[in-house]
Every structure is written in C-alpha cells, then in structure tokens.
Amino acid sequence: MPVLEQSKAVYKKWLDVHRNIERTARFGIGAKIDNLFLEILELIRKAIYTPVDKKVILLEEISKKIDSLRFFVQLLWETHLIPDKQYISVAVDIENIGRIVGGWKKGIISKTSAKAEERKQ
C-alpha cells in the first residue's frame, strides 16, 4: 500500500480513537496529535509531486513530524487516556509509516549518489 494511502488509513483509525478521548484531552493533546497527522499527510502529498532534488528535505521534515507524533501518542497512552489495544494499533501503524518514509529517503539518497558517481567517471 503506498505511503499516502497507508497514512490516510491510520488517520481514519485515529479519528475513531480521538472521538472517544475525554473532552479536555481531546481538545489538548488530541488536537495536537490530529494536527500532526494532518501535517504529515500534507507533507507526504507534497513529497510525491516534488522534484527528486528537493524530496529529501521534505522527507526529513516528515520524519521529524512522525517522531513528534510517536511521542504525543505515547504520552496519551501513558496518561491512560486511550486503551492499550488502541495505542498498540495506532503506534504500530505510525512505526510502519516511519519505516516507509525512511526507506523512501534512503532510496532517493542512494539513487542520487549513484548518479553523481556515474557523472564523475
């Protein structure tokens, strides 16, 4: 499943979790997590259509946002605002997206460095 589609699926899962968080947390940490998800989706969409030479910068930004997202979802769980089962489900999916983005970045770096080596010869 492409990274954008997978990210959208995780966000939809998050929306179900978000609806069941107590009100004060929903508008605090829940809103923060929601905004991070939306920013990640937007950046992934941009990265898909960005020229290769500028993709790495966007992918680094996406990775930073994913790290923040992991932190806040874990904090939500540590404060017992979501059940273990929901946390595990969302956290595993976030990890997978992080791996995909990291692999995408690594692939671009290796391709561009290989092309640079070819030009030198």
Contact 36, 72 (CB under 8 A): yes
| Domains assigned to the chain | 3-120 (1.20.1440.60)
pLDDT at 1 > cutoff 60: no
Task: Indicate the pTM of the whole model.
Answer: 0.88
Q: What is the model's pLDDT at position 113?
A: 77
- Per-residue pLDDT tens over the stretch 84-98: 999 999 999 999 999
Distances from the Cα of 99 to the Cα of 20, 22, 31, 81, angstroms: 28, 31, 24, 26
- Per-residue pLDDT tens over the stretch 27-54: 999 999 999 999 999 999 999 999 988 9
Q: What is the model's pLDDT at position 87?
A: 97
Query: In the chain, what is the straight-line distance between the N-terminal and C-terminal CA atoms, in Å?
Result: 37
Identify the band that residue 120 occupies on the pLDDT scale cut at 50, 70 and 90.
low
Q: What is the model's pLDDT at position 44?
A: 96
